A and B are shown apart, each in its own frame.
Chain A
Amino acid sequence: MTSAPATQDLALSARGVRMEYLDRGTRERFVAIESLDLDIKQGEFVTIVGPSGCGKSTFVKLVNGLLSASQGEILVRSVAKGKSDAMVFQDSALFPWYKIIDNVSYGLVCAGVSKKQAHERAMPLIKLVGLGGFENKYPYQLSGGMQQRANLARALCVDPAILLMDEPFAALDAQTREVMQAELLRIWRGAEAEGGARKTVLFITHQIEEAVFLSDRVVVMSARPGRIMEDIRIDLPRPRDLHVKRTPEFQEYQEQIWQLIASQLKAAASQFGGSKE
């Protein structure tokens, strides 16, 4: 219904997306996402931040097709064959009964690629994420950070038009998390060198610092029902390393986003206080 902008260079276009849930226990309806519009350009790294329960995870599931929206539409640029997007989940999302190589090539096997070919195509990605030599290990033999590397390789393996990442580093300890953030940017560039076009990434986190460090744009969502409050362009030079976190520009971005989220939290808190009386 909406007038389409220059759709050629868009990887994702969401228009008026609304998502309602029916709570099975209380039989109550609640709105997780309300009229959300979002465009993501080809090759852009966009992060959604927001207080917990703002519907950011719901949104990636809508994009992935795991859920379908109550209203509105989400257009995802399709690639020639197979699925056009892939998801990196939170912790322990590998299949524990598969070796790393079988986990990484899972998406390809699902798409009908023979096991042998899938393994051949998975190997360069396993090396790219730094797991060369671990391909025949089982997930329990790897640390949390290494498991998330494998998780990332699995998503990259299907050569997705959009890489969806739902709080992939949430369960890691602080140091591993920082290392993985820098690694993600390195892999992102590496995948570009390997596959040609730059990957589009939609990243979900509740960590502001992580969002600023990784992204071209940070989209701040309000508390439930989730709406987009601000869409902030991060003009920090790339390639970035962890030193960028010490710069005043970085701190400014962080402060700006924190103010937005804090206002939401305060509003939510006063609402609670009000309804109690």
Chain B
Amino acid sequence: MTVAAPAMTSRGPERSRRRIKIPNERLFYAVLGFVGLLVVWEFASNFDLDPSTPGVQGLVKRILMSAPTLIWKAGVEDFSSGAIWPHITISLQEWFYGFIISCFLGISLGLSLGWFRRFRLATQPLVSALYSTPTIALFPLIVLIAGIGLESKVILVVLASIFAVIINTMVGVQSVSWKHLEIASSFGASQTQIVRSVVLPTTIPFILTGVRLAAGRSLVGVVVAEFQAANQGVGFYIALNGQTLNTARVFIGLVLLGGFGIFVGELVRLVENRFDAWRPSIHR
């Protein structure tokens, strides 16, 4: 009985198969996934189980789930008539004010909470309590104090997002290495120099994580506030169209929110990359 010699296989890079080079892989696959979903959705909503009542007995019920083409049509209508613009502007305004206030107030509070131990000890229970309270539970109180205009929404947005910034910044300051502080003072660095050369570089990645989270939570705050008490805004637009079974327009609202979320996320990523040059690329 002879045993065949085991075949030798090459473990080097494959030469025979040429791969198509995709210039922007991230974008390519993101778009591919999204388009795939739309195609499946459209197909499913057109697939009628009972052809006598089109759109009612589909694999996906159009009246509940709409369809990409219907959403597109409704979108063109509302954008060309201009009906949707006031909703977008007011929501953007609420988001922007709330987010900016959260960032500035949150970063400064987080830095001082991290740096001053006594301040941290004194405020820790309050911060924890507010952090774990669902923001919506505070809305009736906010409306009583600030009315139902822009102010109350901005306050809610701030409350929804500021703790992400505060807590991340604080953890960042606390993660400053003792050794780096020792080195700085061994070279005679002043307090300001220590903050600039050690505390901030350590903390910035944490701050940006907080800011990224805050951007999303601010958007949640906007929609929650507009669901509660509003006559304008994307949240109001979604709620109203949901109540009138106008599902295509509900989806328009959702697409707006999702698109905005992606846009802001990418913006923060750009800023993060700018500050990340010193880290090995695995962290990027």
Contact = CB atoms under 8 A, between A and B. Distances in A.
Nearest to B205: A97
A86 interface: yes
A218 interface: no
Interface stretch (B22-30, B179-187, B220-228, B247-255): B179-187
A82 B188 contact: yes
A82 B186 CA distance: 12
Interface in A18-34: none
Nearest to B186: A87
A139 B180 CA distance: 14
Interface in B179-210: 179-180, 182-190, 193, 197-198, 201-202
A85 to B, nearest CB: 9
B278 A106 contact: no
A107 B277 contact: no
Interface string A79-107: 00011001101001101111100000011
State the majority secondary structure of interface residues on A: loop
Contacts of B186: 64-66, 86-87, 89
A97 B278 contact: yes
A106 B201 CA distance: 14
Interface residues of B, number: 20
A250 interface: no
B187 A107 contact: yes
Given A107-B188, A110-B193, 7 more contacts: A82-B188, A87-B187, A89-B182, A99-B278, A106-B187, A110-B190, A139-B278
26 contacts: A66-B185, A66-B186, A83-B187, A83-B188, A86-B187, A87-B183, A87-B187, A89-B182, A89-B183, A93-B183, A95-B180, A95-B183, A96-B279, A97-B278, A98-B278, A99-B278, A106-B187, A106-B197, A109-B193, A110-B184, A110-B189, A110-B193, A138-B278, A139-B278, A140-B278, A158-B187
A-B pairs, top 6 by smallest CB distance, nearest first, are A97-B201, A107-B187, A97-B278, A110-B189, A83-B188, A87-B186
Interface of A: 64-66, 82-83, 86-87, 89, 92-93, 95-99, 106-107, 109-111, 138-140, 158
